[in-house]
Amino acid sequence: MQLAQFLRNQKGGVAPLLGLAIVPMIGIVGAAVDYSRANSTRTAMQAALDSAALMMSKDAQTLTPAQLDAKATTYFNALFHRPEASNVQVTQQFGSPAAGNFAIKLTGTATMSTVVWRVVGQQQMTITATGEVVWGIKKLNLALALDNTGSMASSDKMTELKKAAHNLLDTLKKAEKTPGDIKISIVPFAVDVNVGTNNVNQPWIDWADWDDRNGTCSVSISNPKTKSKCQSNNGTWTPAAHSTWNGCVMDRDQNNDVNAIATGDGAATKYRAHQATNCPTAMMPLSTDWTALKGKIDAMTPAGNTNVTIGMQMAWQTLTPAAPFNAPAVAPDLDKVIILLTDGQNTQNRWSSSTTSIDSRTQKVCDNARAANIKVYTVRVIDGNATLLQSCATKPDMYFNVQQASQLNSVFSSIAQNLANLRIAK
């Protein structure tokens, strides 16, 4: 009876309803306010955990579990400053999820007293965040295609290149967790590449052009002394001994000049011996001999014209699991990378002295290498075709435009650090 009268009474009806609604309204507002505070605290905790995990990754493999615990707490406390958080704790988990790879996971927890929500009985909120870093250098096959042309003698370019290359080797050697995981080839180039006189008897060298241009004629003829000129003067041509070859080869037949196809029985797949006037120091296939690699860098001497195509192609060939260099096969844990450095325009190749014509061959070999999942860094030193080198690089941030030779060291250091492959996983 009284309830029915209460419900029929329309006087002051809003106040009782408001009284009934005020508690849940306070709860909703309190939840929003306190949740916002908690979310801000959690974001700060997440950032601190990520940064602490990154710092710990530098030497985590060398620390004991107790030392890892201490480092985690020290780094996190130095980064996380939120007085509203109490009972703050951080724990670490370190492991090796795969051969050659490492992971560290930091988990942070804290409690936070509520401000508004406590009206409805919620005194505290629990905050949790996790930061995880996975790192480790993958197995790496790296080819250095380095301009050794005459212009590299100017502006201290060759001197600074040698210094930068030495530092890159040092950085990678330190990053290597297991001996043999990093293999490096060095390809100095000018118009030709020197594959080394020790390969004189290899079946992948084509001697047809060399035999026609290097030898003696039974009758006196003026330069150039070639087989065809000798025979046109009724002479007998005797090719020079192959032991007098200086090791240089020129571009393969097109389109093998822009591909890393295996050398085989056909002449088109072979490298053509060439007695280049300016033959650079001999290249070095993939190697784990750090001393020999440094020695090869030191042996580089600038001379001759520029053919970026053959430098890029030969670098790619050294990374290819096929003849003549038989690099390791492609694998998920193996990165294949080329660093291409030049300081000038293309000026000469086997067929032409047209910069435009040679540039088109360089563009093709770059495109083909990237399509084969070769990661390409390019470095322009003061001069050279910036557009060509930019388009050759795998990504825009993998192209470097060096205005002074002294900047090479920082550029190579940056590339070396990128190759260390440290990343935030979560």
User: Which residues span the domain enclosing 224?
Assistant: 207-244
- CA gap 260, 424 in Å, rounded: 34
The pLDDT, as a whole number, for residue 136 is: 65
Taking all residues of the chain, what is their mean pLDDT, rounded to a whole number?
A: 90
Of the pLDDT bands very low, low, confident and very high (cuts 50, 70, 90), residue 261 is very high
Q: What is the mean predicted confidence (pLDDT) over 152-158?
A: 97
Question: Can you tell me the mean pLDDT for 338-350?
Answer: 97
191, 224, 244 - which closes a domain: 244
pLDDT band at 178 (very low <50, low <70, confident <90, very high): confident
Q: What are phi and psi of 277, to 5 degrees?
A: -65, -45
In a domain, 175, yes or no: yes
Rounded Cα distance, 380 and 68, in Å: 43
The two structure tokens encoding residue 344? 């000038």
Residue 239 lies in a domain: yes
d(CA 283, CA 411): 23
Q: Please check whether residues 172 and 215 belong to one and the same domain.
A: no
167 and 114 inside one domain: no
Note whether 195 and 99 are same-domain residues: no
Tracing tokens 């297991």 back to the chain, one arrives at: 178
Query: Does 28 score more than 70 pLDDT?
Result: no
Same domain, 147 and 233: no
58 pLDDT band (50/70/90 cuts)? Answer: confident
Q: Which helix (H) or strand (E) holds 356?
A: helix 355-371
284 neighbors 194 (Cβ within 8 angstroms): no
The verdict on residue 309 lying in a domain is: yes
Claim to verify: residue 263 and residue 404 sit in the same structural domain: yes
Assess whether 98 and 144 both reside in one domain: no
Check: CB of residue 127 under 8 Å from CB of residue 148: no
Q: Are residues 156 and 120 in the same domain?
A: no
Give how many domains the chain has, as a whole number: 3
Are residues 413 and 307 part of one domain? yes
pLDDT at 102 over 50: yes
pTM across the whole model: 0.74
pLDDT at 122: 72
State the sign of the Cα–Cα–Cα–Cα dihedral 69, 72, 75, 80: negative
Which structure tokens are listed for 357?
């014509």
Averaged pLDDT, 113-124: 71
Q: Give 426's pLDDT tier (boundaries 50, 70, 90).
A: very low
Look at residue 3 and tell me whether its pLDDT is greater than 70: no
Residues 98 and 195 in one domain: no
Q: Is the pLDDT of residue 251 over 70?
A: yes
pLDDT of residue 116: 67
pLDDT tens-digit readout, 194-244: 999 999 999 999 999 999 999 999 999 988 899 999 999 999 999 999 999
Residue 21: its pLDDT value, please? 47
For residue 71, pLDDT over 60 is answered with: yes
Spatial CA neighbour of 211 closest among 241, 247, 175, 172: 241
Lowest-pLDDT choice from 80-84, 200-204, 244-248, 352-356: 80-84
Q: How far apart are CA 23 and CA 269, in angstroms?
A: 84
Nearest to 394 by CA among 340, 345, 352, 344: 340
Asked whether residue 404 is assigned to any structural domain, the reply reads yes
- Short-list 196, 368, 373, CA closest to 285: 196
Q: Are residue 306 and residue 159 in the same domain, yes or no? A: yes
Which tens digit of pLDDT belongs to each residue from 401-425? Answer: 999 999 999 999 999 988 865 444 4
CATH of the domain at 147: 3.40.50.410
Residue where a domain stops, chosen among 190, 225, 244? 244
- Average the pLDDT over each of 97-101, 156-160, 252-256 and give the range with the smallest value: 97-101
Q: Which region among 90-94, 120-124, 317-321 has the lowest average model confidence (pLDDT)?
A: 120-124
Residues of the chain above pLDDT 90, percent: 73
pLDDT above 50 for 271: yes
Mark whether 405 and 268 lie in a shared domain.
yes
Same domain, 114 and 229: no
Give residue 13's pLDDT: 54
Q: At residue 30, does pLDDT exceed 60?
A: no
Q: Where a domain ends, among 79, 113, 135?
A: 135
414 vs 406: CA distance, rounded Å = 14
Record the tokens describing residue 359, joined without a space. Answer: 């540039």
Instruction: Please spell the DSSP secondary structure of 65-133, one letter per residue.
Output: HHHHHHHHHHHHHHH---TTEEEEEEEEEEE-SSTT-EEEEEEEEEEEE-SSGGGGT--EEEEEEEEEE
